[in-house]
Structures are given as C-alpha cells and as structure tokens.
Amino acid sequence: MPLKKCSGVEMDSADTVWIMVATALVLFMTLPGLALFYGGLVRSRNVLSVFMHTYAIACLMSVLWFSVGYSIAFGDLNSFWGGLSKSFLSGVHSNSLIGTLPEILFFAFQMTFAIITPALIVGAFVERITFGFVLAFSSIWMLLVYAPVVHWIWGGGLLANGWLFEVPVFDFAGGIVVHETAGLAALTIAYFLGPRAEVSKPPHNPGFVMIGASMLWIGWFGFNGGSQLAADEGAAMALTVTHLSAATASLTWALWERMKYGKASLVGLVTGTIAGLASITPASGYVGPVEAMLIGGAAGIICQEGVNLVRNVLKIDDTLDVFAVHGIGGIFGILMMPFFSMLGFDNGSSWASQITSLIVVGGYTIIVTAIIIKVLMLIIPIRVDREVEYEGLDINVHGERAYDLSS
C-alpha cells in the first residue's frame, strides 16, 4: 500500500466508493470483531475490560491519528520521519488526491489501521493490566513505533524507496507494518508484565470467539482488498487469496490439533482462520490462489507451533497468543514472497530486502517498546493488585459486570 501521488489524475468514483466500504470493513474488524474475539477468550469477570480496552483505543487512536499520527506516517520531511507538516490535516483539502482517491478518504482508511494495530496488542496483557497504562502505552506506541514504520514502508521512507537495497520491501497490507510490530510489542509487554495469577483458565465463551473471528474474516476483505487503493482486478485477487488462505489455515490448524491432542476445537479452528489471514496479509497483492493456499496451509501449523514455543519454551504469558498468530504469521508471509519468486512465481521481491526489513523493524519495535514500558512504569502502575486480578477487572476497575447470574 505505498503512497501514490499522481499529477494530472482525477478522482475515480468507483475507487472512492470501494475504499469507503473498505474503511468501514476495517473499523468493523476492531469494533466489534476483535473485541468479541478477545472477549470470548478471557474469563467472564474480565470480558468488559477487554471491550473497554479495544473501544477506548479506537477512540483515542482516531484523535491521535488526526492530530499528528497521519503526518508522521505520510509527511515528507525525510526518509526516517514524516514530520508534522500534515498535523490536524494541515494542507489536506477537499480536492487533494492520493492517486485516484480523495486524500481525506485515504486518511480515514489509514486511520482504521492505526486503530487495529495497537488494539491487537491488547491480547497480550488482558486480565491483569491497569486501564491507565493501556491508554498511555497505546498512545505513545502508535506515535513512536507504528507511525514511523508506516512512513518507512508505505509513506515513501527508507524501506520503500530502495534506500537499503535496489528492491524495496514488499508488504502489501501490513505483514511488517501491522503484524510484526504488534506481535513483537505484545511479546515485549507480556515479558515485562509477567504471567497471570491463573494461566490455565479456559475461554469463557467460545461462541463469542467464533463470532468475532467471523467478523474479522469479513473485515479482512477491506483490510487486504482495500490496500489496492482501487476497485480493480488487483483488489479482486487480494480479496480472493485472503479468503482461500484463511479457509486453508483453519483446516490445517484443526487437523494438526486433532493429530496432536485427539480433538479439534472450535477455538482452534477459528484461531487458524486468523493465522491464515495474518500470513496472507503482506502477500495478498502479489500472489495467486495456489500460493495463497500454500501460505495458509503452512500457517495453520507454523502458528500453532508458535503458540507452544511462546508458552512452553519462552514461558511468556502472551495471554491470547498475539505474537504466535500475528507476529509469526506476518513474518512468515513476508518471507514467502521471495520463496515463491525463487520457485518461479516471480513477484519482484528479494530475500535481502525482505529479511533486512524484518530485522530493522523488529529491532526498532522491541527497543522502543521496551523503553516506552520502562518509562511509563516509573509514572503509572502497570499491573492491578493481586486481589483485583482474582476478582476480575470488570467490577473492580470499571464498576460493571457482563453477566448477572442472580437476576
């Protein structure tokens, strides 16, 4: 989804309508899709806190993206930092165009990405983090990690213009920009936060999980298909390969789970869906249906083993497996493009640019995320006390209950 500024090009009505729909679809992924997906996975006494985190992040990121985030990401100060020239949409007028789209619509579409990326991180720290820390961390992280990485890859920055290599990084809809950054940030904050007091509690509502995953699947058509920034054959292909990867990953996750544990669960099936969606995201504009099914089929197994790696080897309580599903999935999708090129399915990508971009962004994300956490821990308590954790965040932090079984 590179920034496209074209002189002498007029607004295209079909492109505009499609991106308006895609913008709504991507927002639908967070509200209510991600909220329900994550909410069903936690204990019943914490479901409202998950809803609160995702909803509040959506509101706060919208204001911050308008204020300075869009400018940092898509300004033109230099290759590292977009600057503040577009703060509060300065210089963006009703007739400003990005390609064939009104720039104000491009701003709104990108805003939904800035909402869901920090919202994904919520899954790593549910059931034990303070609400104030969530808001402060998400705000600073979006401005200092997410927005600069957007500039580097989609805003004409150092990884998009061949600054490191002649071939730019290929990341169509966010394997690095969204999934690697969110996954590594999730792993980092889970490490600093420490494990929950009770780590073995099952999901309280698998039905919520399935409904949320279904909404994410539908919304992902806007996420990947909209990243074409046009209503054309490229968007149609991106939508199609997105669906095929998700479907295939769901099946392989369930099959692998059945082979290892004797049963295939609903939660496992739909988690495979998300793994397939995350993995196809960076490649969705560059591969065909066969490659998409190969990516999805492998992702259902690789991401499931990633869950075991984080839980049993690294022993980090990334509560809802954000790194295993999104981080590993996005990284895997990035690496599959040069792999397919090597096999003769040429898409223009190179091993050098893909791997180096993963390392540069990964290192930057971990370092800056850790600094943000350490600084905020000096100012804001990061974790609720043990009694609140046992009793649940819903009633103790927000004064509400999701379920009143006595009425």
Which domains are seen in the chain, by residue range?
13-397 (1.10.3430.10)
* Confidence at 407, pLDDT banded by 50, 70, 90: very low
How many Å apart are CA 119 and CA 58, to the nearest integer? 8
What pLDDT does residue 224 have? 98
Segment 181-187 mean pLDDT: 98
**190-204, 245-259, 372-386: range with lowest mean pLDDT:** 190-204
pLDDT tens per residue across span 242-300: 999 999 999 999 999 999 999 999 999 999 999 999 999 999 999 999 999 999 999 99
What pLDDT does residue 128 have? 97
Segment 210-217 mean pLDDT: 98
* Confidence at 331, pLDDT banded by 50, 70, 90: very high
How many Å apart are CA 407 and CA 405, to the nearest integer? 6
* Confidence at 163, pLDDT banded by 50, 70, 90: low
Model-wide pTM > 0.85: yes
How many Å apart are CA 331 and CA 117, to the nearest integer? 15
What pLDDT does residue 297 have? 98
pLDDT tens per residue across span 15-56: 999 999 999 999 999 999 999 999 999 999 999 999 999 999
What percent of the chain clears pLDDT 70, i.e. is strictly above it? 97
What does the chain come to in residues?
407
Residue 353 CA neighbour count, 13 Å, CB half: 21
Is residue 160 within 8 A of residue 341, CB to CB? The reply is no
Segment 67-82 mean pLDDT: 96
